[in-house]
Amino acid sequence: MFSGAFVSQRSSYALAASACCPMIAPMATPLGSVLERDELTTGPHGRLTVDVLDAWLAPGTVLEVVVPGRLACARCEGGGCDACGKSGAIRLAGDEQERSLRITLSESARRVRLVRPLGEDAGLDQLVVELRPAAVPSDFCRRAQGESGRRAIIPLLFVLGLVSAVIAALVLHR
């Protein structure tokens, strides 16, 4: 019935677009793909709510979190599903050092989703960390020292260098 080569609907749109707009060319490689949130991994997803001081929610803050040995299942919200073995919870093996992680906050970080945060063999495919402002931080979370302190010392060193240069210029000018 067709006298020419069969062209799919998608490629016919591309041909029509390239005919009317010669600058449009088909892409050699895709830039990315869209995934459903839950299709990224099929294993256990844990949920952890962390109380932090309001000052800790600034962009660039680094938090050190020791993930508890037992987490609520993020897939079923604790109701029980195949990923958590119908228990509603995920149990993690290992000591505190093996369950420790560092999170650097972005500008609007109140909820962070981490893929395999404790490594490939930890038994946790995703961890959803919800940060909640509170008067007292959770005992398993602390603000990393040195990260913000390093940033605060750079302007101070710049000002001290500038003052030293001005004083040296005044002394040499006399």
**Domain definitions of the chain by residue range:** 41-153
In Å, how far are 45, 63, 140, 154, 155 from 56, measured between CA atoms?
25, 8, 15, 20, 21
Rounded-to-integer distance, Cα 130 and Cα 141, Å: 12
With a cut of 70, which residues of the chain have pLDDT below it? 1-41, 108-109, 146-154
If DSSP codes are grouped into helix, strand and coil, which group holds residue 114? strand
Place of tokens 């800790």: 56
Rounded-to-integer distance, Cα 26 and Cα 10, Å: 11
Instruction: Give the pLDDT score at 51.
Output: 93
Instruction: Give the pLDDT score at 36.
Output: 57
Instruction: Give the pLDDT score at 28.
Output: 59
